[in-house]
Amino acid sequence: MQITCPTCKTAFSVDGVMIDAVGRPVRCFNCQHIWHQYPVAAQPPPQQYAAPPPQYAAPPPPPPPPPPEPEPEPIPEPEPVPMAEPEPIPEEELPSDEDLDHMLGPEEEIESVDVFAGGTDDITDIDEEALESIPDPEPLGDIHSIEDDDEEDFDEDFDPDDIPDPDPIPNVLSEGVGDDEDDAPKKSLIKRLIMPLIIIVVIAGIGAGLVVVRGTVVGLWPGANGAFYDWIGMHVDIPGEGLAIKTAAPARETRDGKDAVVVKGTITNIADTDRPVPVIQIIAFDGNGQPVQTKSMSPEKSLLKPGEKFDFSAVIIDLVPTARRLDVTFGDLESEAPKDGAPKDGAPKEDAPKHE
């Protein structure tokens, strides 16, 4: 173990067994300084650094590319060979005059013929008096004479109304043309009347349908009373309309050894007229807002006067474990005369719970 004097920084090598975990006092041999020495942790071996990768000599540069081959010298064009001159055609020797005379014979003299010879004897001399006695030729007619004749036949007082009417065209080709022109106003009038009639019929059909199925319409959309039926004096009563429900917090009890939930509340008539009381329904919903169990009960009173109220209490046995919320609302109206076997007023009716 290596230790160092804190005063003179002299290093000593001692056996590690001599200094235990609590330490011991030691004295420097060099400066006589005494201090309490604790075991020194063994120093880690010096870090071995990886040998640098061997450096290779750079590759020799590539040899220079060979010089390009010299372009071949163009072959000189051959000199044109001169054309040989054609040999002259030898001229034929023309025959001489003697040869022509020998071939054609001697020339004969041709007597000239006088065409007008002897014609001068037939010419008659005419004096000026005879020329004057010759009658003049008839003059040519005027070119515009024919057109003038046509203009003379034209009457300046001509009236276009005097032209006679042409013969009537047969009705074979024009049959039905007049009838279509007469029917056009009728057809346009019919078209004008058809569209309003169709619109009136459609509106009347929609209105009649809304009146016939007004109960279904109001059941799907309660606001239809104020939007349509109240205007025509056909208000549709909605179950529970004019009645107010006030409930207390549900309470858990034990009934016949079973867990039960008791729901209590009050129903009040807040309208100005007598209002029928429909069936009371308690609906249990799970955490996702889905109904899981429903309980129905008949009211104690089937009719409430203005301001009148009554209390009700409903008991639900074995409530579905997934139920997280209970809502109290109204169902349908009960008939005045219940059927045989139907529960009396105030008797609860419970539907089978829904398990998911």
Structure tokens at 12: 């000593």
pLDDT at 345 (0 to 100) = 43
CA–CA separation, 115 and 121 (whole Å): 13
Q: Where in the chain is the domain with CATH 2.60.40?
A: 243-350
Report whether 36 contacts 24 (CB < 8 A): yes
pLDDT in tens, 159-195: 666 666 766 665 544 444 455 555 667 777 788 888 8
Instruction: Give the C-alpha separation, 14 to 20, whole Å.
Output: 12
In sequence order, what DSSP letters do the residues of 266-329 get, joined into one string?
A: EEEE-SSS-EE---EEEEEE-TTS-EEEEEEE--S-SEE-TT-EEEEEEEEES--TT--EEEEE
Quote the pLDDT of residue 6.
86
| Distance separating alpha carbons of residues 165 and 155, to the nearest angstrom | 20
pLDDT at 348 (0 to 100): 45
The pTM of this model reads 0.37
pLDDT tens string 35-91:
888 887 666 666 776 777 777 777 888 888 888 887 777 777 777 776 767 666 666
Look at residue 216 in the predicted model and tell me its pLDDT: 75
Q: Which residues pair with 259 in a beta bridge?
A: 254
Tokens read off for 112: 């000239």
pLDDT along the chain (356 residues), means of 10: 84 78 82 83 66 76 83 75 68 70 64 50 61 66 51 56 66 50 71 87 84 71 69 75 90 88 93 90 92 91 91 90 91 60 44 46
CATH number of the domain at 243-350, out of 1.10.3470, 2.60.40, 1.20.1050, 3.40.50? 2.60.40
pLDDT of residue 354: 47
As beta bridge partners, residue 249 has: none
Q: What is the pLDDT of residue 336?
A: 44
The first and second tokens of residue 67, run together, are: 């010089």
Q: Please state whether beta strands 243-247 and 258-269 pair in parallel, antiparallel, or not at all (unpaired).
A: antiparallel
Q: Where are the beta strands (DSSP E) in the chain?
A: 2-4, 11-13, 24-27, 34-37, 243-247, 251-255, 258-269, 275-276, 280-285, 291-297, 303-304, 309-317, 325-330, 348-350
Instruction: Give the bridge partners for 256, in sequence order.
Output: none
